[in-house]
Amino acid sequence: MKEGLLALLLLQAPAGSEGALGQLAAEVSAQARAARAEAPLAVSVSAPGHPSLQQAFSTLLLGKLSSLGLQPRLLPSGADSEAQARAQGSRALLRLRLTLDGTLAASGDVLSTWVNFFSGRSVRQPEPAAVVFAEVVQDAAVRALTAGAGQAALLLQPAPLARWPVRTAALAAGDLDGDGRAELAVLTEDAVEVRAADGQLLARRALVGLPRAEPQPREAFGTLCICDGLLYAFSAQRAAGEVLQLRDGSLLVRGPLLRPVVACGHPPLEATFLPGVARLVPRGTRWPLLSPGPASWGLFVRPGEPGPVWLVLFEDGTARAGGGPGGVRTLGGVGAGAALADVAGDGVLRLAASSAAALPAVDRLVLLAMQDGTEHGSVEVPGRILQVTAAPLETGGPEALVLGVWTPEGGAELRLVRGSR
């Protein structure tokens, strides 16, 4: 299963890119040749607790060693490697152990297995073993192969769902036309758009008719919320928002919106934009432990058991989550883009969050356990992730993650991430 996932990830890699496993195999092979390993070469690889990683790396390593003319022979796991190497007639032995500690490392040695026979005893030649060590930064393939129980490897779909020359300001997903399937709502600097799950544009409404806010935030920022088939849209660059309904390919105005709506309810939960900055604060007394509260990147609420689960993103790179089991928790290393999502399809909400890096060329979307912040998977995404929303694209199945990604050129892309299981 995971080996097939690795093949998919390698197929999606840029042309000429070997990935972390390929780079590690190439470096180990080069060190084995530098140590004057003789053919045929026996190879022993172990990766305690990660059999899929061990198998995938061994396959790549044998290919690299073969290209160097070393005639590699893979030994069975757990065998007495020296005895097995001699029994099969190998002249040298490469022993490796794979470890994960922030990086992926391969450590071990290369030794001769030639045997002298003296006084009825077999003795290995006295040449010292050559130490082998190499390490690489983990990539999506490594993280997918090492995802353990309860984890969900994340896969970034190769092509963006949509592109804009301007920035995205907010995202939401929900059924807006009553067909039982989720649509994607996107707020940009100049419009509100509704798109199908494949990115096709269904409707668009420009913001030009709304009064401008004074002062305006420098960056695109706003809120979108889908409640009972209606879309509550409010840009921080405008002094008012609108309640919209998707009908016959158009977004119809059903009423004005005086304040940003951040969660459904009767009445909906509201917030207030801070003048001139891309931040908001909760409004009213229905926000537990938050009203009044500090400025935040975003406020989100989802239904849960035994009650709603809420999430607040702060500009210092922390997030506060509450409701449901476990009480109030504070999680670190969380950026401006985050959402609560059931990515594994197991009914458990996890926090999908961008990194807290200020201007990353390549961002990292990570999946965190709500209870203690344990990492349950991650994927690298080119650009800077500013918005994340959970999208129930399949009835009864796991939720996908839709990302609003700002590109270095000043535009934005809509990207889709799915869990492998």
What CA–CA distances, in Å, run from 368 to 56, 142, 223, 346?
Answer: 26, 18, 24, 15
For the chain, residues with pLDDT lower than 70 are 1-18, 49, 77-79, 101-102, 114-128, 147-153, 285-295, 304-306, 324-326, 395-396, 420-421
> Tens of pLDDT along 285-314?
655 555 445 668 788 888 766 677 888 888
Statement to judge: residues 112 and 206 lie in one domain = no
Tokens of 47: 């990766």
- Could you say which of 106, 127, 145 is where a domain stops? 145
Nearest to 95 by CA among 6, 23, 21, 35: 35
Domains identified in the chain, total number: 2
Are 255 and 117 within one domain? Answer: no
- Do 274 and 169 share a structural domain? yes
pLDDT of residue 55: 86
Q: What pLDDT score does 163 carry? A: 97
% of the chain with per-residue pLDDT over 90: 47
Both tokens of 304, joined, read 């849960």
Q: Provide the pLDDT for residue 149.
A: 42
Q: What is the pLDDT of residues 95-109, one digit of tens each?
A: 998 987 668 899 999
Same domain, residue pair 351 and 220: yes
For the domain that residue 386 is a member of, what is the CATH number? 2.130.10
Q: 123 and 25: one domain?
A: yes
Whether residues 139 and 162 fall in one domain = no
Where are the alpha helices (H) located in 254-413, listed in sequence order? none
If you count DSSP H runs as helices and E runs as strands, how many of each does the chain have, helices first?
Answer: 5, 31
Q: Are residues 132 and 163 in the same domain?
A: no
Domain that holds residue 171: 154-419
Say if pTM beats, i.e. exceeds, 0.85.
no
Q: Are residues 269 and 379 in the same domain?
A: yes
pLDDT of residue 123: 47
Same domain, 39 and 127: yes
